[in-house]
Structure 1
Amino acid sequence: MCGLAGMWQASARRPEDALRRLAAAMGEALAHRGPDDDGVWADAAHGIALAHRRLSILDLSPLGRQPMASADGRYVIAYNGEVYNFAELREELLERGHAFRGHSDTEVLLAAVAEWGVEAAIARCNGMFAIALWDRERRELWLARDRVGKKPLYYGWAGETLVFGSELKALWRHPDFDNGVDRDALALLLRYDYVPSPYSIHRDTFKLMPGALLRLDAEAVARGATGHDPHRDQRRYWDARERMAAAIRAPFDGDIDGAEERLDELLRDAVGLRMVADVPVGVFLSGGTDSSVVTSLMQTLSAKPVRSFTIGFQGSHHDEAPLALEVARHLGTDHTELYVSGADALAVVPQLPAMFDEPFADASQVPTALVSRLARSQVTVALSGDGGDELFFGYTRYERALRNLRLLRRVPAPLRRWLAASARGHGETSRAGGFAAFAAEMGARGIGDVYRNRIVRWRFPQAAVPGAALPPTLYDQAEPLDGLGTPGDAMMLADYAVYLPDDLLCKVDRASMAVSLEARAPLLDTRVAEFAWSLPLAYKRDGGSKRLLKRVLKRYLPDAMVDREKRGFGAPVTQWLRGDLRGWAEELLDPARLRREGYLDADLVHGLWRQFQAGERRWHTHLWNVLMFQAWHAHWRAQREATTSAAAA
């Protein structure tokens, strides 16, 4: 696991020493992602430079160092991630006459590109990755991201220069990067807790979407952001919507016993591939179904006790640590649990803007940061259970949305239209329950609209962000699968394509990489996802959530450890904002400050704050989104001033 950064100025050139210094500074901003080594490659004649920070996982020798050139010298790569099937690809490439100096997956990836071309090589990779690849022969830059979006990659324009990197903090190091806040992206943040791809919080700056490739030549770079459309110019080599549709059209041909056997085989192989490392490997264990499946399979495949890690929360009735301990004892793992106090959790909050780079308001970021820090004290790689909910119907909100859809269909159309019209005047109160929430649901065109009403924070974020529009996402489609499959399938697709990469995987990546820990998610192996999509909904939902996944888990754990309600951990944001964080919040939400900065409607925001403190409304999620933006904005401006000062020195 690593961090990458780079720039390409297709016209005016910097001298090579200046180009290398600037690239090195961009890479240095990502030192936490790769503390073991660093490297810079530059071609001043063409204005291109790549920087890399290395967290050594495979081939700890200098032979794995990046940026790395292909054997024929044509390609230079800076790469973040792991190609889990690299050994298989290596064998095939050896048969085709390629030779290797070391045993890193980076060298295999370069040979694959030389043999099959960029797109075909990427399509053969089973892994998580973000890639910047320079083609010296064609003078083209390729950016690529893995299928589900495990590894991040930002790009944008700093003046006339294309800049890119694993995190925004690398782009900030370029002296010409002064791209202000994108108001439309801010509206998306208030609505979803995060900024969905391909948008980013900055103008003229984008995220590469999951499963996408971007090819840039000198002409495209010179046109800049005004000539770039991420929806048009990013090309999908793998599209979740298309793959789910294909799986539904060719469903699994077998009974549930056969499905259980096949899922166990796929998961066993996916876990085994992700246990390959030249450094210590462990697992996040919460005691829930997903992490317990991963831990069980790891222990089955391991000759010695697997290291498992759990965070417990003092005084919380949601605490899952006792469940995790029970699972760990049954499996015989080498288990470490750490109980933390509210003060421990609150101490993380001031670190969030620097950790996440982009405003991010999923409050579970706090426990994720704590468990990552705990695991890093003993291991360099940790497996997680991410993906089980999105693939196997794991969220209770799915059932609520299906219930609401059934109720909606029973209401005559004229009455639905009248109720929906009456809800428009309620503003954000339609998010707080009661008649307004019921009436707002009546305007739904299909399952997509019903489900969006279940997950959004601000219903009308444009009212809080003057001058903002609301860019569309997959959640805005009435039928995300165009009526194919079931409404349950449509909801899981939307979460897999948007919520999973831009919330859950972003959260795990930033929290783990902040402490130089690599996180791997075997449930998100593409083979597992496409198999799950081929299954009838009854194999996932009948008799409760995650039916098939729980059947697999019962092969390794007693039924009593499987058939129990998941507790989860909800960060006590309401308690924080009315207690220890109240002074911090009031400073960030000061109306004079909001008016001076000019991004948010000061009267609207402060009105919610007053109602919240008076106990009239539970506006904690609305306010947390605003606070995460405000805290981020202060951090970003401080970083910008430091970069400007350094450039002037």
Structure 2
Amino acid sequence: MCGIAGTWFPGTRDDASLHALGARQGEAIAHRGPDDAGTWADPAAGLVLSHRRLSILDLSPEGHQPMLSRDGRWALIFNGEIYNHGALRAELATLGHAFRGHSDTEVLLAAIGEWGVEQALQRSNGMLALAAWDRKQRRLWLARDRMGKKPLYYGFASDGALVFGSELRALRAHPALEAKVDPDALALLLRLDYIPAPWSILRGVHKLPAGTLLSLDMAALQAGASALDPVRSPKRWWDALAAQREAINHGFAGGDQEALDTLDVLLREATAMRMEADVPLGAFLSGGTDSSLVTAMMQAQSAVPVRSFSIGFDSLRHDESAHAARVAAHLGTDHTELRVDGQAALDLVPSLPVIFDEPFADSSQVPTALLCALTRKHVTVALSGDGGDELFFGYSRYARTLRNNGWLGKLPRAMLANRVSEPGESARLGGLAALRAELRAGDLQGLARHRISRWRLPEAVVIGARRLKTAYDEPDALPGVGTPGDALMAMDMACYLPEDILAKVDRASMAASLEARAPLLDWRVASFAWTLPMSMKSRHGQLKWLPKQLLQRYLPNPLVQHPKTGFGAPVGDWLRGPLREWAEAQLDENRLREEGHFDPAPIRRIWKAFLDGERKWHTHLWGVLMFQAWREKL
């Protein structure tokens, strides 16, 4: 796990200035890799690559980056882990490749030299973001892993240079990058709590989508931003939606026992691959199904107690620490629990814009950041249970959406034809307003969008904003086969998982210089999950049925059948209490008007309604507040 950055100018540059710029970009993301730093430049091409290293495999200098291939053709910077690097190394050795050390970076570089970038990616099992420079063809390759575990931003500066990196701050280290807020992306933040790829909060800066690569030659660089379409230019080297269609069509021919055995084998292997490290390793253990299953798999394959970590809160609504402790005791892990009072969480709020780098408003960012900081005091790598809900139908909103979709199917077409295009903000209050909004949604995709939206009409709040479409709007984002439940999970796999869940874990863990790994998101586990019928994911009202059945092989039933608790923070209580003065300053009407990003009227109206006791408005307000706090740091 590391940080990467670079700049490519449309013309030659002197070596010293390139290295100085690369060093500044690397220093901006030093938290991602505190163990080593490196820059490499090709002055004749105007290119510099920068790397910050968190040493996990091969702690020796042989793992240093940027790394050059033996023949000198390729230069590589790479953030992530290739879990099957041992098998790839053996295959490459039979083809005549020799290796100096035992890092996965060296294996990936040899694979690129042997098969090319796209084939090397397809043969790899891991998480990654990379920049590979082909010195022979003068071509730059940028790529992101299948599931979107690792981030990669790119954009053009005003001097014509292409700037790229793991975080926005690495791009902003280039003095010619214009840091102007994109109102369309800001509206997405208010709707979703995050800004999905390919957009970012800065106008003209984009995120590379999961499973894609971008290949640029000198002609493309000189053409600049006008020739680069953030939606169409990236090429899919792994198409998750196509893989889902194929898996659904193929189906799973076995019964319950065969499915359990297959998941057990696949997940054990995926977990074992992610336990390889030359540094201390542990697990996040919330006590939920997914984290308990991953921890159980780790302990079953470890000769010593696995280090496990959980966080406890003084608010019982958000505290699962007692259950996590019981799971840890049964599994026999070496368990560490951090007790957090409200003040510790509040003290973290001013740091959120720095930790997350881009405005981000999922309130679970607070406990996630606290947990990562605790864990890093003891280990350098931690395995998580991320991905289980999106693969095995784990969210209660899925069941509610399918129920309401059934209602829509029974309504007269004339009633649906008269629906308004989008529900207003009153839909957030529940009751009849929420019911009307559900009925107005019109179809499954509209219902899903309504369920995940905070502000229903954010473009009416953000000045100058247009509505950008996401996987919750585009019909092409649906598999077109399978059940409505499959479609709901597909939308989340395309948007919510990579751009909220995985982005949150990446920023929070990297802020603490901690590597997080997710066995459930091994592409082979995902491909198997997509083959399963819905009856193996939701049965007799029990969500995530198959993983729960598998967990009973490792835990007694009372520890498995535990109600799901959200991993959030009591934002509403904070905003009415100790954060009220801070929030009032951020939401000051004159300030909002002078800054020019928001129409103050609806924000002030909701702020007053919230203080007067109306429920749920804190979710609307938190997105505005997180942007305001981030803007102060810009």
TM-score by length of 2: 0.98
Q: Give the corresponding residue for 2:385.
A: 385
SS at match of 2:390: helix
CA apart distance, 1:455: 0.9
CA apart distance, 1:604: 1.6
Q: Is the 8 A contact 1:445 1:478 kept in 2?
A: no
Which amino acid is the alignment partner of residue 440 of structure 1?
A
SS at match of 1:163: strand
Matched, 1:580 2:590: no
Q: Is the 8 A contact 1:447 1:479 kept in 2?
A: no
Q: Give the corresponding residue for 2:54.
A: 55
Q: Give the corresponding residue for 1:628.
A: 626
1:110-151 alpha-carbon deviations (Å, 9 max, x no partner)? 110111111001111100000000000000000000000000
- Report 1:322-333 matches (<5 A): 322-333=322-333
Matched, 1:468 2:465: yes
**Structure 2 Cα separation of the partners of residues 66 and 327 of structure 1:** 40
CA apart distance, 1:225: 1.5
Q: Give the corresponding residue for 1:276.
A: 276
SS at match of 1:46: coil
Q: Give the corresponding residue for 1:524.
A: 521
- Report 1:528-607 matches (<5 A): 528-543=525-540, 544-607=542-605
SS at match of 2:214: strand
SS at match of 2:213: strand
**Structure 2 Cα separation of the partners of residues 390 and 618 of structure 1:** 25
1:262-314 alpha-carbon deviations (Å, 9 max, x no partner)? 00000000000000000000000000000000000000000000000000001
CA apart distance, 1:482: 5.2
Which amino acid is the alignment partner of residue 265 of structure 1?
V
Q: Is the 8 A contact 1:245 1:481 kept in 2?
A: no
Q: Is the 8 A contact 1:479 1:490 kept in 2?
A: no
Which amino acid is the alignment partner of residue 28 of structure 1?
E
Q: Does 581-590 or 314-323 show the bigger shift?
A: 314-323
**Structure 2 Cα separation of the partners of residues 568 and 624 of structure 1:** 17
**Structure 2 Cα separation of the partners of residues 542 and 181 of structure 1:** 46
Q: Give the corresponding residue for 1:134.
A: 133
SS at match of 2:312: strand
1:485-511 alpha-carbon deviations (Å, 9 max, x no partner)? 101000001111100000000000000
Q: Give the corresponding residue for 2:452.
A: 455
SS at match of 1:224: helix
Matched, 1:180 2:180: yes
Which amino acid is the alignment partner of residue 460 of structure 1?
L
CA apart distance, 1:342: 0.3
CA RMSD of aligned residues (A): 1.2
Give the unaligned 5+ runs of structure 1: 637-649
Q: Is the 8 A contact 1:446 1:478 kept in 2?
A: no
CA apart distance, 1:219: 1.5
Matched, 1:430 2:427: yes
TM-score by length of 1: 0.96
**Structure 1 Cα separation of the partners of residues 568 and 102 of structure 2:** 43
CA apart distance, 1:414: 1.3
Q: Is the 8 A contact 1:41 1:49 kept in 2?
A: yes
CA apart distance, 1:315: 3.4
CA apart distance, 1:617: 4.7
SS at match of 1:244: helix
Give the unaligned 5+ runs of structure 2: none
CA apart distance, 1:481: 2.4
**Structure 1 Cα separation of the partners of residues 452 and 254 of structure 2:** 34
Q: Give the corresponding residue for 2:497.
A: 500
**Structure 2 Cα separation of the partners of residues 617 and 326 of structure 1:** 34
Q: Is the 8 A contact 2:408 2:443 kept in 1?
A: no
CA apart distance, 1:226: 2.1
**Structure 1 Cα separation of the partners of residues 55 and 293 of structure 2:** 27
1:26-73 alpha-carbon deviations (Å, 9 max, x no partner)? 000111000000000001111000000000000000000000001111
Which amino acid is the alignment partner of residue 151 of structure 2?
P
SS at match of 1:77: strand
Matched, 1:37 2:36: yes
- Report 1:8-407 matches (<5 A): 8-11=8-11, 13-159=12-158, 160-407=160-407
**Structure 1 Cα separation of the partners of residues 424 and 117 of structure 2:** 49
Relative to 1, partners in 2 of residues 1:515 and 1:482: Cα closer, same or farther, differing over 3 Å?
closer
CA apart distance, 1:443: 3.0
SS at match of 1:311: strand
**Structure 1 Cα separation of the partners of residues 479 and 30 of structure 2:** 44
**Structure 1 Cα separation of the partners of residues 259 and 458 of structure 2:** 43
May I ask how many residue pairs the two structures share in their alignment? Answer: 632
Which amino acid is the alignment partner of residue 497 of structure 1?
A
Which amino acid is the alignment partner of residue 596 of structure 1?
E
Q: Is the 8 A contact 2:190 2:454 kept in 1?
A: yes
Q: Give the corresponding residue for 2:4.
A: 4
SS at match of 2:583: helix
CA apart distance, 1:634: 1.1
**Structure 2 Cα separation of the partners of residues 439 and 379 of structure 1:** 50
Matched, 1:615 2:613: yes
Q: Is the 8 A contact 2:306 2:334 kept in 1?
A: yes
**Structure 2 Cα separation of the partners of residues 452 and 189 of structure 1:** 14
CA apart distance, 1:253: 1.3
**Structure 1 Cα separation of the partners of residues 184 and 588 of structure 2:** 23
Q: Is the 8 A contact 1:197 1:206 kept in 2?
A: yes
Which amino acid is the alignment partner of residue 515 of structure 2?
E
Relative to 1, partners in 2 of residues 1:260 and 1:230: Cα closer, same or farther, differing over 3 Å?
same
Which amino acid is the alignment partner of residue 549 of structure 1?
P
SS at match of 2:537: helix
Q: Is the 8 A contact 2:463 2:598 kept in 1?
A: yes
1:541-569 alpha-carbon deviations (Å, 9 max, x no partner)? 01201111111111111111111212233
**Structure 1 Cα separation of the partners of residues 293 and 335 of structure 2:** 16
1:555-597 alpha-carbon deviations (Å, 9 max, x no partner)? 1111111112122333111101111111111111111111111
Q: Is the 8 A contact 2:37 2:53 kept in 1?
A: yes
Which amino acid is the alignment partner of residue 629 of structure 2?
A
SS at match of 2:407: helix
